[in-house]
Amino acid sequence: MKVLLELNNIRKAYGDRVILDGASVCMSDDQKVGVIGRNGAGKSTLCRIITGHEDADSGAVNTSASFRLAYLEQHDPYRLDETVMGFLQRYTGREEWQCGKVAGSFQLKNELLKAEIGSLPGGFRTRVKLTSMLLAEPNFLIMDEPSNYLDLKTLILLEEFLRDFRGGFMLVSHDREFLMRTCTHTLEIERGDCVLYPGTVEDYLIFKEEQKEQVMSYNKTIEAKQRQLKLFVTRFGAKASKASQARSKMKQIAKLKTIEVGHALGNVVIKIPNVDKQNKLALSCDDLAVGYPDKLVASKINMEIQHGKHVAVLGDNGQGKTTFLRTLAGGLEPKGGSFKWGHELEIGYYAQHVFTELDTNSDVYTHLADQAADGVSRQEILNLAGSFLFKGDDVRKKISVLSGGERARTCLAGLLLAKRQVLIFDEPTNHLDFETVEALGRALKTFSGTVFFVSHDRTFVNLVATEIIEVHNGSVRKHAGDYEDYVYHLEKRIKEELRTGIAIESKSSKPEIPVDRTRKEIRDEMRKSSSRIKKIEERLEILKKERDGIQREFEGASGWSRERNARYEELERLIRADEDLWIEVNSKLEK
């Protein structure tokens, strides 16, 4: 273990607002640190000071001679007309084979390396940025909310990499599950200071709660002693014979100090205003097709959703989750078929970037009051504002001075106050700290209305979802299993892809990438295709053998189970995908 980074008495303020006040910590080359703290506590500020993007007002950042830092940039360092390989070589100065090797760990291979970055979905663009960061061969990483807008597949790939990374890192995230799976230490930033704990975030929260209980017990003892001493002074202070003793007791009282109890992470409580519970159909889709004027995204969508269901809409970035939600919310016209909401159901919609459309001349309270339904009291508005960390005079802040996270919380609070029977959320957890994410999840879990939402925060989805819809390869359909089952099979598929080097996907799930091919490239592709066909056939044999075994179990008297049925359906999907891929590769050989 070697110390790479040392922060000594860091202080940073913006005007009268002190963010960091004497923060000190040391980090070594083997520490994988999850950074937690409420919005505005200073997590991003600390990251920017370490990377040199901001200067501390006072204090020092000391690094060892072997310190090699890389960070995930918030802005995009590439041009959209650059190819993936062209950007990686230009930006890092590395050889083509080096770029290809690191890119492969994020499933950026073959034709994807020749693609223009502008043609790739958002999740793939983030993979390109991660690759460029790692090509610097760092021994310490800083990542500020890397999971924002990442699809679950890319997030799992990032987890796989971070678990194997030989070095240290600081990772800021609102996703408790992501932190638990990747980090061995926890750094909390609170009230200007920071505490580094040698354990996972859950271990730290348990430790902190135990500390809080000890402090509260100590304070009770001190307060009882203070009351006894004050009683003596009150009773005997006026008597000359007891004056000396009274003065002594007063000195003792002055020395007895209680310990301030800081707020505990996880004590955020959000209460959503009640809506009427109804036993009827919330949504029906009849051969619905969704997309844009010049592009069909998904078709033949047929489903019914009962009122009160909480539906997680899942799938890789670029598959059409947002398009589906926008159509249901009325923001896009269907390209075919139809859908129908239940009678007199009112829809509330939270889009990914809705907070950018707020009236900057307004303030927080005015916006919330404007959004609130009839009959919602001023106190209810203030209570919900407080749940989203707008306390006291914070509700009078102008929208123009709010951060992106504060604007997002303002929009969420306004939507909940509107008391709509159907809530549609597209990535509501981005820009929230994880205790607010989990508080929102707990609140929505008990919400009697209908919820449709897109989120890749696994803790949030587990808290809220009662049904799963998957958007994949131009289809939108219900998933037979629960969310844990969905994640399990996705992780298993990704590990298989990493092991074999073959993506287990059908043709339509890949970005369409035009490539001008030379004869040599065609010959090379044919050789690769022959090898791919062999691997696909081997995998098909394994998948079909497992599927047939489950089918034989079903024929028995007690062979059926929910878990086995979900696995059977998953195998059927994988087999169909491999058969499509086999046809695709063979067609190339026949040309």
Q: How far is CA 516 from CA 111, 115, 233, 338, 555, in A?
A: 11, 11, 93, 40, 52
Q: Is the pLDDT of residue 511 over 50?
A: no
Q: What is the pLDDT of residue 208?
A: 75
In this prediction, residues 209-227 reach a mean pLDDT of: 69
Cα three-residue angle 58-63-64, rounded to 5 degrees = 155
Q: What is the pLDDT of residue 513?
A: 39
Using pLDDT thresholds of 50, 70 and 90, give the confidence band for residue 578: confident
Within-domain flag for 427: yes
> Tokens representing 542?
């394994």
Condensed to tens digits (0 to 9), the pLDDT of residues 318-338 reads 788 999 999 999 999 999 999
Question: Going edge to edge, which strands form the sheet with 193-197?
Answer: 69-71, 140-144, 168-172, 32-36, 185-190, 193-197
Which of 446, 479, 512 is a domain's end point? 479
Length of the chain: 591
Q: Considering the chain, what is the average pLDDT of its residues?
A: 82
Alpha helix segments (H runs only) across 355-470: 364-371, 378-387, 404-417, 434-445, 458-464
Closest CA to 406 of 11, 35, 20, 41: 41
CB 204 within 8 A of CB 197: yes
Residues pairing with 5 in the sheet: 27, 63
Could you tell me the maximum CA-CA distance found in the chain, to the nearest angstrom?
112
Q: What is the pLDDT of residue 515?
A: 40
Using pLDDT thresholds of 50, 70 and 90, give the confidence band for residue 583: low
**C-alpha dihedral, 127 to 41 to 182 to 199, nearest 10°:** 170
- Looking at the structure, tell me whether residues 423 and 546 fall in a common domain: no
Q: What is the pLDDT of residue 481?
A: 78
Q: Is the pLDDT of residue 526 over 80?
A: no
Using pLDDT thresholds of 50, 70 and 90, give the confidence band for residue 63: very high
> Tokens representing 295?
């592009």
In this prediction, residues 108-123 reach a mean pLDDT of: 85
Closest CA to 97 of 85, 83, 107: 85
CB 142 within 8 A of CB 169: yes
Q: Is the pLDDT of residue 95 over 80?
A: yes
CATH number at residue 72: 3.40.50.300
Within-domain flag for 414: yes
Using pLDDT thresholds of 50, 70 and 90, give the confidence band for residue 559: low
Within-domain flag for 274: no
For residue 339, the enclosing domain spans 281-479
Which of 170, 185, 203 is a domain's end point? 203
Distance of CA 452 to the CA centre of its chain: 17
- Find the helix or strand (DSSP H, E) in which 161 lies: helix 152-164
Q: Among the listed ranges 373-387, 397-411, 471-485, 497-511, which one has the minimum average pLDDT value?
A: 497-511
Q: How far apart are CA 177 and CA 189, in angstroms?
A: 19
What share of the chain has pLDDT > 70, as a percent? 83
Q: What is the pLDDT of residue 313?
A: 95
- Looking at the structure, tell me whether residues 180 and 143 fall in a common domain: yes
Within-domain flag for 264: no
Q: How far is CA 85 from CA 99, 101, 128, in A?
A: 7, 11, 9
Q: Is the pLDDT of residue 261 over 50?
A: no
Q: Among the listed ranges 18-22, 183-187, 207-211, 259-263, which one has the minimum average pLDDT value?
A: 259-263
In this prediction, residues 504-525 reach a mean pLDDT of: 46
Within-domain flag for 431: yes
- Looking at the structure, tell me whether residues 285 and 422 fall in a common domain: yes
Within-domain flag for 335: yes
- Looking at the structure, tell me whether residues 52 and 135 fall in a common domain: yes
Within-domain flag for 159: yes
Which range in 24-38, 205-219, 501-515 is most confidently predicted, on average pLDDT? 24-38
Within-domain flag for 253: no
In this prediction, residues 192-212 reach a mean pLDDT of: 81
- Looking at the structure, tell me whether residues 105 and 21 fall in a common domain: yes
Higher pLDDT, 244 or 507: 244
- Looking at the structure, tell me whether residues 46 and 120 fall in a common domain: yes
Q: How far apart are CA 144 and CA 327, in angstroms?
A: 32
Q: How many domains does the chain have?
A: 3
- Looking at the structure, tell me whether residues 194 and 310 fall in a common domain: no
- Looking at the structure, tell me whether residues 304 and 435 fall in a common domain: yes
- Looking at the structure, tell me whether residues 565 and 473 fall in a common domain: no
- Looking at the structure, tell me whether residues 469 and 543 fall in a common domain: no
CB 535 within 8 A of CB 500: yes
Alpha helix segments (H runs only) across 165-264: 176-182, 201-236, 243-255
Q: Among the listed ranges 37-41, 364-368, 475-479, 519-523, which one has the minimum average pLDDT value?
A: 519-523
Higher pLDDT, 353 or 412: 412
- Looking at the structure, tell me whether residues 43 and 88 fall in a common domain: yes
Half-sphere exposure for 162 (CA within 13 Å, toward CB): 27
Where b means 16+ CB within 10 Å and e means fewer, 271-308 reads ebbebeebeeebbebeebbbbeeeeebbbebebebebb
Q: What is the pTM of this model?
A: 0.68
Q: Is the pLDDT of residue 344 over 90?
A: no
Which of 479, 499, 530 is a domain's end point? 479
- Looking at the structure, tell me whether residues 471 and 497 fall in a common domain: no
User: Reduced to 3 states, what is the DSSP secondary structure of residue 9?
Assistant: strand
